[in-house]
Amino acid sequence: MGLLGYTCVSDAGQDAAVQSEALMSAGVDALNIFSDVAPPKRAADRPGMRRLLDTVEEGETVVVWRIDLLGRSLSEVLDTVAMMVGRGLDLVSVQDGIDSRTTTGRLMVDLIVSLSQYERHLTGERVAAGMSSARRAGTRLGRPPLDSLLIRDKVRAVEDARARGLSAADAARLVGWSRATFYRHQKEHGSQE
């Protein structure tokens, strides 16, 4: 199976040569090293990472110099590792001594994936607790309530425009709606063409 490498430096003034040399020493061909310089805050915007993920196939191994290069935050690193494992990829981190092709390395990667799942659960619990607290404080969640009189007036305006020959889509746009929104409100408020 193939080895593909990934290097990343935080600004254009840095050199990824140390990382590349370490990856080549680990058996990665120079043509199979994907790189990013000054990546945006989100790993999904890293063009080198995207090309790597588009190229790598199940059963292949991704080699990095350090595992923290897989994301800008702990949660991003955890998610990236979990995604790679989910795609059937092996992972080697040269500096960290992680090699998922070994028993100990697989244990380390499994722990990272478990941490990713744990963090997702914690985030869900925090969101649910925040929403519950907001409800108890009287904060209304979701879309603001609709003014039924305003809705009826808009339905009538759209119906009048339709009577003058406009299509439902064009008439609905006059009041800032889509055709589907017009039909939904027309049905809900009992007005008929």
Burial class (CB in 10 A: 0-12, 13-18, 19+), 2: middle
Mean pLDDT calculated for residue range 91-99: 93
Q: What is the pLDDT of residue 15?
A: 79
Note the pLDDT tens digit of each residue in 116-135.
889 888 989 999 999 999 99
What does the alpha-carbon distance between residue 63 and residue 101 come to, in Å, rounded to a whole number? 12
Phi first, then psi: what are they for 7, rounded to 5°? Answer: -120, 155
Q: What is the mean pLDDT of the chain?
A: 88
Length of the chain in terms of residues written: 193
Please write the tens of the pLDDT for every residue from 166-175: 999 999 999 9
In the three-class reduction of DSSP (H, G, I as helix; E, B as strand; rest coil), residue 72 is classed as coil
Annotated catalytic residues are: 10
pLDDT of 59-81, one tens digit each?
A: 999 999 999 888 888 888 888 89
pLDDT in tens, 146-155: 888 899 999 9
Cα–Cα distances (Å) from 162 to 152, 166, 180, in that order, read 15, 5, 14
The pLDDT value recorded for residue 112 is 86
